[in-house]
Amino acid sequence: MTKLRGILTAAAVSLILATGANQVSAAEAEALPPAQDWSFNGLFGTFDRAALQRGYKVYKDVCASCHAMKYVAFRNLVDIGFTEGEAKALAEEYEVAGEPDEFGDPTTRKAALSDIFPAPYQNPQAARAANSGALPPDLSLITKAREHGPDYIRALMVGYEDAPADMTMGPGMNYNVYFPGHQVAMPAPLSEGMVEYADGTEASVEQMAEDVTTFLHWAANPELERRHQIGFQVMVYLILLTGLFLIVKQRVWRKLDH
């Protein structure tokens, strides 16, 4: 009897654990970022130049105050549709460290096309001190560094809500539906109309989130369009080569006496 009771108890515990695991899995599934129909998806995907330029505007006006992009230079902006003159003008809005003067003292100069985007902080310690101990990540490769890539980045920016009544939030933390654990140090970065688009597009939170995500995904994958183009060319080549091999095979075997 004691042995049977132990077996039943173990079975009950297993059932409870399994039920809890299923509930956790269901909760995690509900927090998955919605899949978006990005222009760069698929074999023939390309980047929308207008969205890229709007996304740079959002990064510059909103994100750059906390997040660096150490792998992107101003000259790269030519690849998203800006002219060289426009990219140069955008670079000259920033001051960067120049060569020491004749006395060895530091100097500054206007940024040039060859310069990378200036970082908002001098070092990680300064970044943490300005953000309550949290270190804002570099955004150059962020869509590669996060699971679900651009879908997650977009969802994160639109996923801020009031915390549930039964959830205890840490000091200075913000509730986000899609952030792991739902508590993130970064406050909601976007609000309606906080940037003014040159092309007249309405700067809704959804629009800004999609545009800046497109820009960030381009920064992480600047070769994407070329890769898609080469992949298509290789497929066409392989199809033609397969057809040629079939023709050769038929002609060779036709001469043999079966």
Please give the mean pLDDT across all residues of the chain: 87
Cα 54 to the chain's mean position, in Å? 15
Closest by CA position to 184, among listed 147, 211, 155: 155
CA distances from 107 to 39, 104, 116, 162 (A): 43, 9, 18, 47
Q: CB atoms < 10 A from the CB of 138, how many?
A: 15
pLDDT higher for 233 or 203? Answer: 203
User: In the prediction, which pLDDT does 30 show?
Assistant: 54
DSSP assigned state of 74: G
Q: How confident is the model at residue 43 (pLDDT cuts 50, 70, 90)?
A: confident
CA atoms within 13 A on the CB side of 194: 17
Q: Which helix (H) or strand (E) holds 39?
A: none
pLDDT higher than threshold 50 for residue 56 = yes
pLDDT tens string 155-209 = 999 999 999 999 999 999 999 999 999 999 999 999 999 999 999 999 999 999 9
What's the whole-number mean pLDDT along residues 38-58? 96
DSSP assigned state of 64: G
pLDDT higher for 250 or 198? Answer: 198
DSSP assigned state of 42: S
pLDDT higher than threshold 80 for residue 104 = yes
φ/ψ of 26, rounded to 5, equals: -65, -40
Q: What does the alpha-carbon distance between residue 215 and residue 57 come to, in Å, rounded to a whole number?
A: 9
CA distances from 127 to 9, 157, 184 (A): 53, 21, 16
Closest by CA position to 67, among listed 138, 18, 12: 138
User: In the prediction, which pLDDT does 3 show?
Assistant: 46
pLDDT higher than threshold 80 for residue 140 = yes
Q: What is the DSSP string of 200-239?
A: -----HHHHHHHHHHHHHHHH-TTHHHHHHHHHHHHHHHH
3-class secondary structure, 183: strand
User: In the prediction, which pLDDT does 161 show?
Assistant: 96
User: In the prediction, which pLDDT does 258 show?
Assistant: 59
User: In the prediction, which pLDDT does 14 show?
Assistant: 47
Residue 95, C-beta contacts closer than 8 angstroms, at least 6 positions apart: 108, 109, 110, 111, 118
Q: How confident is the model at residue 254 (pLDDT cuts 50, 70, 90)?
A: confident
pLDDT higher than threshold 80 for residue 18 = no
- Answer for the pair 138, 145: CB distance below 8 angstroms, yes or no: no
3-class secondary structure, 153: helix
Could you tell me the residue ranges of all domains in the chain?
224-251
Q: How confident is the model at residue 232 (pLDDT cuts 50, 70, 90)?
A: low
